[in-house]
Structure 1
Amino acid sequence: MARGKIQIKRIENQTNRQVTYSKRRNGLFKKAQELTVLCDAKVSIIMISSTQKLHEYISPSFTTKQLFDQYQKAVGVDLWSSQYEKMQQQLNKLKDVNRNLKSEIRRRIGESVNDLGYDETVNLIEDIHNSLHVIRERKYKVIGNQIETGKKKLRNVEDIHRNLLLEFDARQDDPHYGLVENEGDYNSVLGFTNGGHQIVALRFPANQHPYIHSGGGGSGLTTFDLLD
């Protein structure tokens, strides 16, 4: 059965297009390899797909630079010079941009303003005002965040303080709170120091004479700080 002739036109389906590209690319590279072996030819193929992927075939022991050098000799053009000129033009543009940016920075810090005309000075003042507005907005936002963080920490401290006061009040209402267990073995004393801001609890064996070092080093002395 004879094979129908394929109409050469763009394949609309993207998947089919990629499959066809891959198959025909491999076939083309295979033919190039055969041509290199059979005819001792120098073959180079550069392909870019619709998805911007680069595929290249070049004969063994041959480089793309050598190919371009031979192409320049055969055609009589200098591809590298034109490319070098384009790169130089791009470099000069970047240098101009860099020079203008440096000059703008110097003017914004008050340098090199003597050569400015009236309109340029007015524009510079307006730009500085706009920049200051943006900086102030950022500063106020940072300060606001710090204030909110401080408020949250303060609320947490207040909650802890409130809970401690409630716990302390509850323990004061407990008649057994503050008593020492095993009363037969220990004598206990409960009192306040420093105007009522601290609780001192003393506990010592009944057969030992209590002794409290004036420097607070006695092991039988326990001090608890109270909240105002």
Structure 2
Amino acid sequence: MGRGRIEIKKIENNTNRQVTYSKRRNGLFKKAHELTVLCDAKVSLIMFSNTGKFHEYISTSTTTKKIYDMYQTTLRFDLWTSHYERMQETMKKLKDTNNKLRREIRQRVLGEDLDGLDMNNLTILEQQMQDSLTVVRERKYHVIKTQTDTCRKRVKNLEQRNCNLRLDYDTIHQLEQKYGTRENEGGYWSVIAYSNGVSSLNGFCESPNTIIPHGPGYEPLGLRLD
């Protein structure tokens, strides 16, 4: 029982379409290879799938460039002339744009190439310079303000740390005057560091790791008085 005829139309199922493309592509490449070997022909096949994937077959006795050259020679048509002309036009436009920008830079920065400008053009150039100056000044002020704010925050943090250290020092000094340094007993004062950055000494203990509870957010620090 023979295989039924397949209707030639687009396969809607993506999986079936990819499978069919792969099988028939391999079949075409096989036929091209056989034609190359049996008939000593020069064959070139280029394929793009619907997903944009590139596939190519070229006879081992030639290259893709040689195939293009033979095609042009046979048809007496140069494939590269139009492309070369478009590249030349693009390069000319880029050169004109570059020369225009260079001239504007010389006019705005160096004050050169002003002889060919009339009063109206000079007025426009002056306004452009004023606008550019405004943009540069705003950017400069923004950078300076950002740096200043950062420095102020650092200074504020350092001042707070300095204040906390001074409070700790004053507290220790007062306790030394009141209780002595406890040199012979080898004791420690428990320093409580609160979450708000304020430290406090809250009693004498025998070990620097002794925790004296004093509410949430504290950390005991051993401080020896000797």
The unaligned stretches of length 5 or more in structure 2 are 185-226
Q: C-alpha displacement at 1:11, in angstroms?
A: 4.1
Paired AA for residue 145 in structure 2: G
Structure 1 residues 9-59: Cα deviation after superposition (integer angstroms, max 9, x where no partner): 344555554444333322222221121112111001122333333322110
* Distance in 1 separating the partners of 2:15 and 2:176: 86
The residue aligned with 1:181 is 183
1:141 matched to 2:146? no
Paired AA for residue 99 in structure 2: R
Q: 1:11 to 1:116 in 2, by over 3 A?
A: farther
1:58 matched to 2:37? no
The residue aligned with 2:127 is 126
The residue aligned with 1:96 is 96
* Distance in 2 separating the partners of 1:17 and 1:130: 59
* Mapping of residues 73-92 of structure 1, within 5 Å: 73-92=73-92
1:107 matched to 2:107? yes
* Distance in 2 separating the partners of 1:11 and 1:119: 66
Paired AA for residue 160 in structure 1: R
Q: 1:71 to 1:139 in 2, by over 3 A?
A: same
Structure 1 residues 170-212: Cα deviation after superposition (integer angstroms, max 9, x where no partner): 0121136774836xxxxxxxxxxxxxxxxxxxxxxxxxxxxxx
Q: C-alpha displacement at 1:79, in angstroms?
A: 2.3
Q: 1:96 to 1:23 in 2, by over 3 A?
A: farther
Q: 1:74 to 1:11 in 2, by over 3 A?
A: same
Paired AA for residue 133 in structure 1: T
Structure 1 residues 123-172: Cα deviation after superposition (integer angstroms, max 9, x where no partner): 33333233223222221221121112111111111111111111111012
Q: 1:145 to 1:65 in 2, by over 3 A?
A: same
Q: CA RMSD in A?
A: 2.5
The residue aligned with 1:210 is none
Aligned residue-pair number: 182
Paired AA for residue 86 in structure 2: K
* Distance in 2 separating the partners of 1:125 and 1:18: 64
* Distance in 2 separating the partners of 1:13 and 1:131: 59
1:43 matched to 2:52? no
Higher relative contact order (CA 8 A, sep 6+): 2
The unaligned stretches of length 5 or more in structure 1 are 183-228
Q: Secondary structure at the match of 1:174?
A: helix
Identity %: 55
Q: Secondary structure at the match of 2:42?
A: coil
* Distance in 1 separating the partners of 2:6 and 2:73: 39
TM-score by length of 2: 0.69
